[in-house]
Structure 1
Amino acid sequence: GTEIDIHHRLLPKTSHLASAPAPLFAAARTLADPRLRILAPADMILHALVHLFLEGDPDEGLRLRDLADVHDLLCHHGQEPAFWASLVPRARALGFQRPLFYGLHHAHQFFGTPIPPDVLHELEDAAPAWPIRKLMNRLIPLALLPGHPDHPSRLAALARWLIYVRAHWLRMPPGLLIKHLSHKAWLRLRGFRKRVDLAQLDLKQQ
């Protein structure tokens, strides 16, 4: 079956990035059935990139399949003459130029996505400071690539965790972040203890 994720805004109200849904709804395109609408092409890509780079998972990391979706969207909509000219201005209007910067850069790095040079140049002022840029260029690929089941990488695990913390730092203020991460850590610890207890019980029963 098809899974539908329904949410009323891109990011929580506590996020450092503005994420009012009204501009997305206003620009949505009507389908053949006038009761149905979809996001405009630029908004589809920005929506996907915000979810990709501002969520993360401490175990799974970033989802390479989501970046592949962005690649497909860029290749598809990039054939429209006005698309590339509208993408960066739309990102600026919504405050999503940093996710777009990371998305275009890494889509090109991973999939060879054809991106006009003038678009990349236009986004240069959205890039982070040089040290952060170098760090993110190292962390993001590590967090995107799936880990080897038999040979897990501690460096990749650290990258996934740092990307996860970064995403939550952008989604909530420090006090709420500490409370949230502490709660998550406690739940993970309880789960680990439960798994250990069950494993010991299994050993006793053998």
Structure 2
Amino acid sequence: MQNETEKEYTIKKPHSDPLRWVEKYGDYLYGFAMSRIRNEDVAKDLVQDTFLAGLQRLDGFEGNSKEKTWLTAILKNKIADFYRKRSVSDLKEISATNEVQFFFDAESGHWTEKDYPRAFGLEVDNPLMVKELGSILNECLAKLPGLWFSVFSMKHIDDLESELICTELKLSAANFWVIMHRTKLNLRACLQKNWN
């Protein structure tokens, strides 16, 4: 039996109730996965895998973060694994030379007249216009290949460092920058085409 001094220093494990995870965090994790995967079935599978991994690692959860944060970190790793597996075939097709030749003049290196960036004419004080542009941007993002969307969202939505993204997705720095370049060119072209 412990004496009073020993009881003071006994560290209690944080209480975690896996039976309530789906109820408490299911919608949040599904929304998180959908914002990065854009495929309902895959997002659902990844959330289920997250809950399963959480159950398997429950003894390792020390309570240094909130349960929701811990589960989100597991989901982020599941998403990275998903794109890592898909990136091998996607990387074989990456080459920026066509885009450079298509959008830029070969002699001067400047934008071609047809592809020169135009002003969007966005009135930032007009919430309807901002909402419409956001809707069009989401449609353009949905058209991106999965790996491109993942790299773009990790960089510009999750605000991760380029080196970390390369490590997570097993990309070389050159592949990362080619993907970012192609993504930005595609988004710009899509926005200019669809924004009146």
Normalising by structure 1, we get a TM-score of 0.26
Normalising by structure 2, we get a TM-score of 0.27
Tell me which of the two structures has the higher relative contact order, counting C-alpha pairs closer than 8 angstroms and 6 or more residues apart: 1
